[in-house]
Chain A
Amino acid sequence: MMKYQNTKEEYTLTDAKTLAYINMYAVLGSLENLCQLDPKASALVADRKPISIGFEVKGGPSATITFKNGKCRMEQGCGECDVKLPFSSCEKFNGLIDGTVTPIPSKGFQHIKFLLKTFTPLTDMLSNYMRPSEEDLKDEEFFNISTSLLFYTVTVAISQIGNNDEIGKFSADHIPDGDIQMSIAGGPAATIRCRNHRLVTIKQRPDDPRSVMEFGSMKLANDLFNGKVSAMAQIGEGTITMLGMINMIDNINRILDRVGLYLA
């Protein structure tokens, strides 16, 4: 049983390992979408030989990000990569994401220029979209990209929390098998697939969802992700649509509550 004390991590009952999984697949994983959505990001990695960066976290996740033809793709594991960044703990990896740890490659020193001149600017762009200023959000294109990236980050984080976080696992244990559609009307969609209480997020609309949760607009989704409006009230307003197996959505919403604790 986890203990309740006054440190932030223990007060919110969050843990470094779950955060590492979120940082890997939800945060770094959204580089895939950044390169799709922002031509400037795509241009950064367009005219160069394909290159892959592996992240290996002791006691945590491992993944490889490959940049090829202006596109970015993340896959689990880092057996074959051009640059390998090892981390001795989940805490160290989380430090990379919050900017307090500088990684040292164990493989691929010759690509250090890519890390400094391309990868770092890409992650800086991602940070700008994920933690935008009010001024930036006045630009419609920026707003839409920012909201879409937040959407993908949140939907992937849900699966990571459902699979790794102790309280999130309790919620996932109550989700029946099937596909849950999360979407924004006129915007991005994702599938959260549940099999035997394990969750995986697929960044596309499901063909045959058992339940649907759709936010009525990009503006509403952005406000919800940033805690500016109440989801419960919006359900009453009819701007959040829920359909199908509500016990799936009910438990996803409990996990969604915890996304904010990790990503705050």
Chain B
Amino acid sequence: MADFKINTYDKSRELFNRATKVIPAGVYGHLGPAEGNFIPVSAWPFFSQKAKGAYFWDVDGNKFIDYMCAYGPNIMGYNDPDVDKAAMEQAKIGNCTTSPSYKMVELAELMVDTVNTADWAFFAKNGNDVTTLAIMAARNATHKKKIIFVNGFYHGVSAVVQKIDYPGVLPEDVANNLYVDWNDFDALEKLVAENEGEIAAFISTPYLHGNYFDNQLPADGYWQKVRNLCTEKGIVLIVDDVRAGFRLDLAGSDHYYGFEADMICFCKAIANGWNVSCLCGKEFLKDAVAGMSYTGSYWMSAIPFAAGIANITKMRELNLPTLLLEKGKKLTDGLKDAAKNNGFDLVVSGEPSLFYLRIANDNTMMLHQEWIAECVKRGIFFAGHHNHFMNYAMSDADLKHTWEVADEAFKVVAKNHPELF
């Protein structure tokens, strides 16, 4: 065994104790220990000190190769010099101003030029802003009220995209939401027939990359049939590309799978961590969006626009999605080898640039959770039950180090479970 250093997190813990006094849940949401599934919680850091390239360092000085990439935004590598240079130069001349910066027009033009289905671009801050806008715009355009969601979905935090059993959500908030299983076109067709003339939109991620289950790619012909059905029935087809956007295809994940969405939502990877999201759509929906009351104090800030222009330009020059898909495949092949060599069945699902991991030796996920924790304790930041993210800065040396740590982690889990081997 290589005998890697085992992290300790005294300062993280101290900060978390302070945080719980003044912040609900200490660290809320997906970055926190509850929703982030820190199992056991002692294996994870809570707070970072700095980040660079493929790595971040926590407040205790532990270094991590970060396969969560801040849950997606870090597509080029933390503090990418080209992106950050554009952001810093913009910061010197103006950011949040009464008249929006001309940079907004430049980024919109670049999005329209880059994204296959885009005739226009509308900017906001978070993925939720634009998924919610897409749903409202579809209702505004069609004058219909029902929205079809795919079971296992996550499209943000507005009440309309949450579920009836979530705290603070009323039945009325989700009364017009319909649900269908992923890849089940027959069920979708039936649902549409049962609600003929009432459906405003079908919203889905390009493939099913939800949490707690193996991610599922679209079946052959699925999206083409969905596209035809939506066109035939006047249903707006919305693709939520917040998570997968630019990691499969710079022209959009609908383009990657050979169809055209009516609206497509981007956020995470637009500006490599500078905060901007974007809804792109077809011409026939532009007036519907124009007529809506939908804005925010920081939505037209110029720094993220400048960063986005630099980032998209660089991603285009690099043909980045292809690199990330190849790099993800290489990484996960090595992880599968390490698993196999130690008697574990590691299932890798989803697209390689957003790979999802699951150890299938038991039906409880407990072995999986143990292995993930052993990796994190040794400086490989994986998530237990969420897809991961590749970025440009990850090197072959990082991949090799990851395989070595993974191997040691498998050996530790195997040693802890002699009954299995």
Chain A interface residues (CB < 8 Å from chain B) = 1-2, 4, 13, 167-168, 170-171, 178, 209-211, 230-233, 235-238, 241-247, 251, 254-255, 257-258
Contacts and interface: CB of A to CB of B under 8 A. Distances in A.
Contact of B41 (A168, A238, A245): A238
Given A210-B364, A242-B39, A236 B165 contact: no
Interface of chain B: mostly helix, strand, loop or mixed: loop
A170 B169 CA distance: 13
A13 B167 CA distance: 12
A235 B39 CA distance: 10
B26 A236 contact: yes
17 contacts: A4-B170, A170-B164, A170-B165, A171-B165, A178-B364, A230-B20, A232-B24, A232-B26, A236-B20, A236-B26, A236-B34, A236-B41, A237-B20, A237-B41, A241-B40, A245-B212, A247-B385
Given A232-B32, A233-B24, A235-B41, 17 more contacts: A4-B171, A170-B164, A171-B165, A210-B363, A232-B26, A232-B28, A235-B34, A236-B16, A236-B26, A236-B27, A236-B46, A242-B37, A243-B39, A244-B369, A245-B365, A246-B37, A246-B385
Interface string B357-368: 000000111100
Contacts of A254: 165-166
Contact of B171 (A2, A232, A237): A2
A204 B166 CA distance: 29
A4 B172 contact: yes
Interface string B146-174: 00000000000000000111110011100
Given A2-B171, A4-B171, A243 B366 contact: yes
A167 B164 contact: yes
A121 to B, nearest CB: 39
A209 B364 contact: yes
Contacts of B26: 232-233, 236
A202 B43 CA distance: 32
Contacts of A255: 165
B342 interface: no
Size band of the B side of the interface? 35 or more
A1 B212 CA distance: 29
- Nearest 5 A-B pairs (CB), nearest first? A232-B25, A247-B212, A236-B33, A244-B364, A235-B34
A211 to B, nearest CB: 7
Contacts, number: 85
Interface of B: 16, 20, 24-28, 32-34, 37-42, 46, 163-167, 170-172, 175, 211-213, 363-366, 369, 384-385
A241 B369 CA distance: 13
B364 A211 contact: yes
A257 B365 contact: no
Contacts of B366: 243-244
Contacts of A245: 212, 364-365
Nearest to A231: B34
Contact of B165 (A167, A237, A243, A244): A167
Given A230-B24, A244-B364, A246-B385, A13 B171 contact: yes
Contacts of A237: 16, 20, 41
A184 B42 CA distance: 19
Contact of A232 (B34, B163, B211): B34
Contacts of B27: 236
A158 B33 CA distance: 24
A258 B167 CA distance: 9
Q: Which of A211, A246, A254, A255 has the most CB of B within 10 A?
A: A246
Nearest to A255: B165
B68 to A, nearest CB: 17
A238 B37 contact: no
A209 B363 CA distance: 10
Contacts of B384: 246
Contact of B42 (A167, A232, A238): A238
Nearest to B369: A243
A246 B41 contact: no
Contacts of A211: 364
Nearest to B212: A247
Contacts of A258: 165
A27 B245 CA distance: 51
B28 to A, nearest CB: 7
Contacts of A230: 20, 24-25
Contacts of A231: 34
A231 B262 CA distance: 41
B387 to A, nearest CB: 15
A241 B175 CA distance: 35
Nearest to B42: A238
Contacts of B385: 246-247
B28 A246 contact: no
A13 B364 CA distance: 33
A232 B38 CA distance: 12
B149 to A, nearest CB: 13
A14 to B, nearest CB: 13
Contacts of B20: 230, 233, 236-237
A170 B28 CA distance: 24
B39 A1 contact: no
B171 A233 contact: no
